[in-house]
Structure 1
Amino acid sequence: MSAGLLGLLDDVAAIAKLAAASLDDVGAAAAKATAKAAGVVVDDTAVTPQYVHGVAADREIPIIKKIAWGSIRNKVLFILPAALILSQWAPWLLTPILMLGGTYLAFEGAEKIWGRLRGHSGHDAPAAAVGPEAEKTLVAGAIRTDLILSAEIMVIALNEVASEPFFSRLAILLVVALAITVIVYGVVAVIVKMDDVGLSLAGRPSAASQRLGRSLVSGMPKVLAVISVVGTVAMLWVGGHILLTGVDELGWHAPYDVVHHLEEAVAHAVPGIGGFLAWLVNTLCSAVVGVVVGAIVVAVMHVLPFGKKHAAGHDAAGHDAAGHAAAGHNSEAAAPADERPPHAGP
């Protein structure tokens, strides 16, 4: 009996060691896959803050939480099963689906530029000032954009572990999905709450803390404005890059070959920083493709009947949002000092 028990304990120990080794392998593979998708992770982090730019301070974190949960649902319930199924039985469908997503990203970026050129911006009025429905619309838009970026992240990660067994791929991609979501939305939460940190520091007795606090309060709106622009450019860049690599994988090599030759020429022409400049060339070319494709889709959307309805509804919503925000601002300004609501942010 004792020999049998010792044998059983040895087997349990061996299984535990195997499980630990498997977990180490999953962690290492997940880290490698996440590193490969780092570029898109940065884009996702840059895109998201624009959805809370101008939102009342007390609604920033709740909105980020809603978008983060939507991102996890995107990755775990939709993208992960679809990617695993397609990679197992119809891998040829992954590229066309990604290209559709890239086209949507290019359209979103081009439409934002078009809106700014016309003097309209989808997020000028705080969603909380308009009401819960506007906040739902804002969150839904952010989750839709996240779906495309998350899809590219997951497909890049999937390509890195394509040789792994099915259940190993599943475990690795689950780790990637959760880790990337925590990283992206944790960073976004820190960015959008830095002005509140500044307010807290500005109220401390230390002169150094007060200076730092005032700098944060005055600087963060500018930082968020810059991030909003970077987010729009990231949509065009990522969308264009998806389309460039997609047409190459589908057999039309000429566009990507031109970009690749330009990259090589720049990399060899400038020693030291040639690699970085080559990356910039690829990024610029991808952004140009995104602008062209996005502009075409925006033009089509504004010419076709359903596109005109969409544009008219978007403009009306923007005017209503601005009107509600202005009304709220005027009523607050007209209220006595002791009846005004506490300051919600800079």
Structure 2
Amino acid sequence: MATGLLALLDDVAALVKVSAASLDDVPAQVAKTTGKVSGIVIDDTAVTPKYVVGLDPSRELSIIFQIAKKSLINKIILLSPAALLLGFFAPWAITPILMLGGAYLCFEGYEKVHSMFSKHAADAAQSTEEVKVVTPEELEKARVKGAVRTDLILSAEIVAITYSTVADTPLVNQIVVMLAVAVFITVAVYGFVGLIVKADDIGVHLAKESRRENIKKLGRGIVKFMPSFLSILGYVGTAAMLWVGAEIIAHGIPFTSHALDDLEHSLAHLPALAWLVKVVLCGVGGLILGAIIERVVRLLH
């Protein structure tokens, strides 16, 4: 009896050692995954601030918190379990789902580019139409809903890429890494977004008369710089949408995936140039694909 109990304890101890050794790899896996999803993280960070532009400044952080909370819930409660279940029962479905998400990003990116170039025509047309009155509360709800919808697509891409990174590891590792990446990226993205949207308030605070002259100059500089920075960030977000969406689709098609790999290998001695060429090609491809999807959607409507 004692011998059997000691053998059982030895087995438990061995299992604990194996699990501990496996979990030691978690930080490295989290870092590796974070690097892989950096493009999507840039996209998420650049796109989100536009959802609070034009709203009551006192509501900005509250709106960002609502988006961040729903984003984290989606990653942990909805997307991560779905990825684990799909990976176990239907691993073939992950790539098509990713490609659908990429197509949506291309469509959204094209819509934004189109709206930039057709702004004057839209303004002229709007002047002859009846303007719908929307309350601040309704506008806030619509902005949060739109932000969460876009974030859901980006979060799905993040979770799917995370799962593909840890698919060959033990289940415990998969769960821990996916939860760690979900929390880390959500906090990092929306913490930085909160800092961006409140930067002008920080600048005003620094520019108070009671401050030293160099501090006041810094504050005034921040206030003057932020409108331009937000405008640039909007362009970056749109470009990132097209780039990320097209790259996801390209990696789901063997021919284009091999072409991108060959491009990277041919320019391996110039990694910065390889990255730039890939981004430009994916951006142009995403714009063309988004235009095609927009035409199809318009025909269906």
1:202 is aligned to 207
Q: Secondary structure at the match of 2:169?
A: coil
- Asked if 2 retains the 8 angstrom alpha-carbon contact of 1:202 and 1:214, the reply is yes
Tell me whether 50-59 or 235-244 shows the greater mean CA deviation.
50-59
2:81 is aligned to 81
Task: Verify: 1:190 aligned to 2:195, yes or no.
Answer: yes
Q: Supply the AA of the counterpart residue of 2:101.
A: G
Q: Supply the AA of the counterpart residue of 2:192.
A: V
Residue of structure 2 aligned with 1:278, choices 274, 278, 292: 274
Q: TM-score, normalised by structure 2?
A: 0.85
1:244-259 matches, cutoff 5 A = 244-248=250-254, 253=255, 255-259=256-260
1:240 is aligned to 246
Alignment gaps of 5+ in structure 2? 1-9, 124-133
Q: Percent identity?
A: 48
Q: Deviations over 1:155-203 (max 9, x none)?
A: 2211221111223211211111111100111111111111111000000
Shift of 1:15: 9.1
- Asked if 1 retains the 8 angstrom alpha-carbon contact of 2:39 and 2:240, the reply is no
Residue of structure 2 aligned with 1:301, choices 284, 287, 297: 297
Residue of structure 2 aligned with 1:144, choices 140, 143, 149: 149
Q: CA RMSD in A?
A: 2.5
1:165 is aligned to 170
Q: Secondary structure at the match of 2:53?
A: coil
1:135 is aligned to 140
- Asked if 2 retains the 8 angstrom alpha-carbon contact of 1:238 and 1:286, the reply is yes
Q: Distance in 1 between matches of 2:193 and 2:172?
A: 32
Q: Secondary structure at the match of 1:114?
A: helix
Residue of structure 1 aligned with 2:235, choices 229, 237, 240: 229
1:124 is aligned to none
Q: TM-score, normalised by structure 1?
A: 0.74
Q: Deviations over 1:19-66 (max 9, x none)?
A: 765654333332332233223222221222222233331121111111
- Asked if 2 retains the 8 angstrom alpha-carbon contact of 1:198 and 1:214, the reply is yes
Shift of 1:94: 0.2
Higher relative contact order (CA 8 A, sep 6+): 2
Q: CA 1:198–1:14 in 2, change beyond 3 Å: closer, same or farther?
A: farther
Q: Distance in 2 between matches of 1:149 and 1:73?
A: 14
- Asked if 1 retains the 8 angstrom alpha-carbon contact of 2:55 and 2:140, the reply is no
1:21-40 matches, cutoff 5 A = 23-40=23-40
Shift of 1:16: 8.4
Tell me whether 156-165 or 220-229 shows the greater mean CA deviation.
156-165
Q: CA 1:11–1:210 in 2, change beyond 3 Å: closer, same or farther?
A: farther
Q: Supply the AA of the counterpart residue of 1:41.
A: V
Q: Secondary structure at the match of 1:167?
A: helix
1:338 is aligned to none
Q: Distance in 2 between matches of 1:91 and 1:17?
A: 30
Shift of 1:302: 2.5
- Asked if 2 retains the 8 angstrom alpha-carbon contact of 1:53 and 1:224, the reply is no
Alignment gaps of 5+ in structure 1? 1-9, 122-128, 269-273, 306-346
Q: Deviations over 1:131-172 (max 9, x none)?
A: 211211111111111111111111221122111122321121
Q: CA 1:15–1:267 in 2, change beyond 3 Å: closer, same or farther?
A: closer
Q: Distance in 2 between matches of 1:31 and 1:260?
A: 22
Q: Supply the AA of the counterpart residue of 1:293.
A: L
Q: Distance in 1 between matches of 2:18 and 2:289?
A: 50
Q: Distance in 2 between matches of 1:194 and 1:200?
A: 10
Q: Supply the AA of the counterpart residue of 1:256.
A: S
